Amino acid sequence: MTVIDANRMHEIETRYPEYFHRSLRQRFGGLMILIATLLYSLYAVWFFDLPKLFAEAHWERVGIYLSQWVSYDVQPEFRIGDDGSIDIRYPRFSPLGDNPHPDWLVNNPDGSITVSISGTSRTVTVSKSETIVTAHGVSVPVEVSSGAPKVIGPVPGWMTVYDDNVLADLGFAGNVSISVDRVKIRKRFIGWANFIFDTQSSFFDKPVGEVVSLIVSGPRIKSDQSNLSLAFDDIWNNSEWQHGDVWTKLFQTIVMAFLGTLLGALTAFPLAFLAARNITPNRLLNQVLKRFFDFLRSVDMLIWALFLTRAFGPGPLAGSGAIFLTETGTLGKLYSEGLENIDNKPREGVKSTGAQTVLVHRYGIMPQIVPVFVSQTLYQWESNVRGATIIGAVGAGGIGLKLWEAMRTNANWENVAYMVILILIVVFIFDTASNALRHRLMGTKAH
C-alpha cells in the first residue's frame, strides 16, 4: 500500500481543486434538481386537482368510443300490441336498408322471435308475455304482461332493473332494453357498415362477385349510364360515408398547407435579406422587420384563422391566409438567422471582382443558403398539413371542419375514425417525402 504524505496530498489538492474543493452547486446540484422536480410535480397535482379529475372522469366512455370506431350497431325494436302481435321496426337510416330480413332474427312457430346477439351464447327471445335473455350461461326470463317489467328469479349482475325498464348489458356484443310494450335490442358488428355502397345504391347488399360481374359484363342498370360509372357515382356520393366530400375536404387541406407555405416562403425570402444585419447594414430596418416577424409568429395560426374567418367568411381562403401570415413570420426569422450565419468569404470573393449586388447574392450567398432554406420550408409545409386540419375546425375549411362536425354529433365515431386514418396517412406520406427531400438536399443519409 502506498502512503501519501502531507506535502504530496497538498500538491494533489492544488493541482486538482475541482475534485477537492467543489462548490455547493457541484455537490448538491443533482439532489436540488430532484427535489425541485418533486415539488413541481406536487404543485401540478394540486393546481390541476388531478385526484378529483381522475375520480370524476367518465372512463367508460373511452371503451364506448373506441368500440364505435371499429364497429357499428343495428337496433331492431319489437313492439308488442294489445292483441299479442309483435311488430318489428328499425331506425329510419338503418345500416340494413329499408326492408331488412337478417338471418340472425328467427320467427319461431309459437309466434315468438329469437334474436342472436352473439352466436348461441347470447340470445333474446321475445314473446307477447315475456322476454328471455340468455347470456353468461344463464337464461333470465323477464315478464312483460303486467304494469312493469319483472325479472323472474334472481337478478344477475349484468342486468339492471329500473321502475319501468330492465337493461341487460351483454358487453361488446350489445344490450337489451325491456319495457312492457317494447323490447329494443342493440346488436354490434365489427367493421364499417355500407362503406362502399349505401342502402340507396343499386349495388347495395350484393355479393362482391355479382358486383364485379355487373360492372364488367352485366346489363346496364340505368340505360343512360354504364355500370362502372354508376358504381363510381354510388361510391363517391355515398350518403353515409360521404367519400366525395371527405376527399374534397382533404384535398382542400393539402392545398391550404401548400399555398400558405408557398406564399409565406416567397414573402419571407426577400424580407429576410433586409432583416439580416450582415446583408443590409441598416439597424432600424433590421429591427423593424425582425419585430414584424415576431408579431406574425407570436399570434397563433388558430387565432389568425379566427380573425380571417370573420373577415372573409368560412372556407379555405381563410385557412390559407392564416398559414401564410404565420409562415411569413416563422420563415422570415429562420431565413434571416440563416443569412446572418453564412460564411462571408465566398461573398467577399465575388464582391472583389466588381460584380453587382444581385450577382454577389446569387453566387456568394445563394449556394450556401438554398439547401438550408428549402429544408426548413419543407419541414414547415409538412407541419402545416397537420396545422391546416386543426384550423379547419374553426371554420377555415378543409377536413378539419368535417371532422369537427362528425365529432359534434357524438354518434358518428366510425366516420371520425375514417377521417383520422386518412389524415394520418397523408401526414405520413408528406413526412416521408419531406424527410427524403431534406436529406437529399443536405447530402445526408436518411434513416
User: Could you report the per-residue pLDDT of 201-259, keeping only the tens digit for each?
Assistant: 888 888 899 989 988 888 888 888 888 999 999 999 998 899 999 999 999 999 999 99
CA distance 47 to 58: 21
- Are residues 276 and 331 part of one domain? yes
- Are residues 248 and 152 part of one domain? no
User: Pick from 403, 405, 397: which is nearest to 418 by CA?
Assistant: 403
158 band by pLDDT with thresholds 50, 70 and 90: very high
Domain count, the chain: 4
CA distance 118 to 139: 14
How many CB atoms neighbour CB 212 within 10 A?
A: 13
Greatest distance between any 2 Cα atoms in the chain: 114
- Are residues 393 and 296 part of one domain? yes
- Are residues 359 and 291 part of one domain? yes
CA distance 155 to 133: 12
User: Pick from 134, 136, 130: which is nearest to 152 by CA?
Assistant: 130
- Spatial contact of 384 and 376, defined as CB atoms under 8 Å apart: no
Q: What is the strand order of the sheet 138-143 is part of? A: 105-107, 113-118, 122-126, 130-135, 138-143, 150-151
Q: What is the pTM of this model?
A: 0.78
- Are residues 431 and 334 part of one domain? yes
Domain boundary among 209, 232, 255: 232
- Is residue 108 in some structural domain? yes
Give the pLDDT confidence score for residue 121 in this predicted structure. 86
Give the pLDDT confidence score for residue 408 in this predicted structure. 82
CA distance 313 to 333: 30
pLDDT at 22 over 70: no
419 band by pLDDT with thresholds 50, 70 and 90: very high
- Are residues 312 and 261 part of one domain? yes
- Is residue 13 in some structural domain? no
Listed in order, strand segments (DSSP E) in 306-415 are: none
- Are residues 48 and 26 part of one domain? yes
Owning domain of residue 216: 195-232
pLDDT at 268 over 60: yes
Give the pLDDT confidence score for residue 367 in this predicted structure. 78
Give the pLDDT confidence score for residue 4 in this predicted structure. 65
Determine the average pLDDT of the residues in 105-118.
90
CA distance 184 to 196: 28
DSSP letter (8 states) at residue 137: T
- Are residues 254 and 141 part of one domain? no
pLDDT at 442 over 70: no
- Are residues 320 and 409 part of one domain? yes
- Are residues 212 and 139 part of one domain? no
- Are residues 83 and 161 part of one domain? yes
Report residue 257: phi and psi, to 5°: -65, -45
pLDDT at 176 over 90: yes
145 band by pLDDT with thresholds 50, 70 and 90: confident
pLDDT at 37 over 60: yes
| Distance from the Cα of residue 351 to its chain's centroid | 52
Considering only CA atoms, give the Rg of the chain: 34
Q: At what angle do helices 399-408 and 243-275 cross, to 10 degrees?
A: 130
